[in-house]
Amino acid sequence: MRRYTIADVFTDVPLQGNQVAVFTDATGLSAETMQRAAREMNLSETVFVFRAEDPNAHLRVRIFTPTTELPFAGHPVLGTAFVVGRAMGSN
Q: Which residues are catalytic?
A: 45
Greatest extent of the chain over all pairs of C-alpha atoms, in Å: 37
Q: Please give the helix or strand (H or E) that residue 33 lies within, else none.
A: helix 31-41
Give the whole-angstrom CA distance, residue 11 versus residue 19.
Answer: 10
Which residues have a Cβ under 8 Å from the Cβ of 40 and sit 6 or more positions away? none
